[in-house]
Structure 1
Amino acid sequence: MKHITLLYPEGHCNLGTVACIVGTVEIFSRANAYWTQQGNKQKYQLTVAGIRPKTEYIHNLVALKTDAFITDIAKTDLIIIPSATPGDETSESQLMYDWISRQYKIGAEIASMCSGAFILASTGIMDGRSCSTHWSYADAFKENYPKVNLHSDRLITDEKGVYTNGGAYSFLNLVIYLVEKYYDRQTAIFCSKVFQIELDRSSQSAFAIFTGQKHHGDTMVQQAQAYIENNINEKISVEALSSKFAIGRRNFDRRFIKATGNTPIEYTQRVKIESAKKALESTRKTVNEVMFEVGYSDLKAFREVFRKITGLSPLEYKNKYNKEAFTE
């Protein structure tokens, strides 16, 4: 029988941590039960392991009792890191990082959920690899772990025995994904039906809210960002924008990318599409009306950019998020 360790990272916990742990335990328990009911021997044992012998109440509401401590586990086959609070370093943090790294070196696979990617990245394992985390943590993650290839549009990444997940309650999609990996497709389908979790979701783009990286300290770029955001209905060329701030195009591009992580064109597109999303969510305006409001005149181009950023067409997005949506 193989072993799964579900980490309880005390000192880094929030209510999302508890939700990830409880949901994972329940789904894997049901997967185990289904597997054995089909005449198979139990395949995996799951242990919830903490990093210190201390009761920690989350929001004065709930605390979990672990099955073991990570120092008691000499070898495991899969480590699952739940959602966790980024940046709250404790005296036990390095112990946790070292244990994860050691287990990975001797053959363990690792899966992180949501902001648990910060714990995973702190081990150094993810340098040069693909990773996902909640879209709202993307800027902070890039700043703290520049060597990691972050793909905040992806719901799940799977690379060389390391799995990461976008965020929030989409951890359930990662658990179903792991059930298929560790049991089989039929068990994953069964669990998806029992818990009513959609199979094979691949993107979190439709859920992202673009706010733009503003904490970079480059005043010129901040002014350019403000100009773009205050003139959404205009067609803004990068040449005109760089000229407005009396700086050469190449230098303007370089500074903008360094500060925001986006090219000026990408940033302009994301600002315009974020405005379009809000209009489609909350008004009865047609796709054409919204398109013109955010400075596009070519419907095909608007649709292509909208789908690239959200994963949906403008009409699909409207029908999904606007209760008063109507067919155009």
Structure 2
Amino acid sequence: MDASPIRIGILLYPGCMKSAVYGLEEMLSLANRVCAEQGRDERFDIRLCETPSTDEASYNAIVVPPCVDGDYYRAPSPALQAWIRHCFDEGSLLCSACAGAFILAATGLIEGRPVTTHWNLADAFACQYPGVRLRSEENLIDDGDLLSAGGLMSWMDLGLELVARFSTPAVMHALGALLIVDTARREQRYYRRFAPRLDHGDRAIAKAQRLLQKEYRHALTVPALAAHCHLTERTFQRRFVRATGLKPLQYLQRLRIQKACERIESSLDTFGAIAWDVGYEDLSAFRKMFVRVTGLTPSAFRKRFYRA
């Protein structure tokens, strides 16, 4: 006897990324082909949900895709939130990719839960939903009845995870081979770039940021930065953290690592030469910091990102 179809609802909301919606639909359809070739009974029944209703049959999973236009995801309609809560109560696995995490968070269902979103949306998400355990360095988080993926193209990782969850890892790996997609786990921090904001409204701190951007190679101290801004050290540190989310020396480290990343991407200079040029005399310490921030060794980073 054939197994019951696996009902997957993909949400169509204003501004959603259509290529992700239809890409997921096609990916799961191809998964059906792989299941058939392997003699398995699982079948994915994919539904595109544009005007969801609680009268519909229950879903095994609801997927909220990324957003590429507008800001509907920041304030989804009460009706949509109610429908998602209804599906969750009925046992649906909740899934999001990129900005889709905002829509799930709006329902209140993921309060206190670990979730990821695009790194460029992390600050806005943390501000809007401080009770959610944001882990934007992760590309995919599986928390039982909650799956979340990070970047715009992370819907592919999400789709593969759904296939593994509702069929088998063997089906997922075969599907990845068919699509020529890497099924190994990746981290979003490999691709994250340090692009600090200066539009936070604190002119004194923006002045310090510009000095750091210009003089990052030099040993800039907190007292020197505070004096540059005509602030006491205590006031400077408090306002710097409030404006940037980082302590001044953490900010300087991230800036130096970003400069090192740019050099590794565009040159064949040794890491020692690059470390010295961005302001580090202790190569070992800088290498450890580089791995901690990027998740890759300098040589692995160059292999992945070097542009000849």
TM-score by length of 1: 0.84
Q: Identity percentage over the alignment?
A: 30
Count, aligned residues: 303
Deviation digits for residues 254-281 of structure 1 (CA, Å, limit 9, x no counterpart): 3322222222232211111111111111
Provide closer, same or farther for how the CA distance between residues 102 and 250 of structure 1 changes in structure 2, counting only shifts above 3 A.
farther
Which of 171, 180, 187 is matched with 1:187 structurally? 171
C-alpha distance in 1 between matches for 2:56 and 2:238: 48
Distance 1:295 1:91, change over 3 A: closer
> In terms of mean alpha carbon deviation, does 35-44 or 162-171 score higher?
35-44
**Larger displacement relative to structure 2 (89-98 or 201-210):** 89-98
Which moved further from structure 2: 99-108 or 216-225?
216-225
Correspondence for 1:8: 12
Write the distance in 2 (CA, Å) between the matches of 1:89 and 1:196.
31
Q: Structure 2: how far apart are the matches of 1:117 and 1:126?
A: 9
Q: Give the distance between the partners of 1:312 and 1:91, measured in 2 at CA.
A: 36
Partner of 1:47: 47
Query: For 1:158-173, what aligned pairs fall within 5 Å after superposition?
Result: 158-173=142-157
1:203 corresponds to: 187
Q: Contact 2:74/2:102 (CA < 8 Å) preserved in 1? A: no
SS in 2 for 1:295: coil
Alignment-derived partner of residue 297 in structure 2: 313
**Alignment partner, residue 55 of structure 1:** none
- Name 1:216's counterpart in structure 2: 200
The residue aligned with 1:78 is 61
Please give the secondary structure, in 2, of the residue aligned with 1:48.
Answer: strand
- CA distance in 1 between counterparts of 2:150 and 2:225 reads 34
Tell me the distance in 2 between the aligned counterparts of 1:70 and 1:105. Answer: 14
| 1:6 match: secondary structure | strand
Q: Gapped runs of 5+ residues in structure 2?
A: none
Letter in 1 for 2:244: T
Distance in 2 between residues matched to 1:183 and 1:234, nearest whole Å: 55
CA RMSD of aligned residues (A): 2.3
Q: Report the counterpart of residue 234 of structure 1 in structure 2.
A: 218
Unaligned runs of 5+ in 1: 52-68
Instruction: Name the residue aligned to 1:142.
Output: 126
State the partner residue of 1:118. Answer: 102
Change beyond 3 A, Cα 1:146–1:294 = same
Separation in structure 2 between the aligned mates of residue 75 and residue 225 of structure 1, nearest angstrom: 52
Task: Mark the CA change 1:239 to 1:315 in structure 2 (over 3 Å): closer, same or farther.
Answer: farther
3-state DSSP of counterpart to 1:292: helix
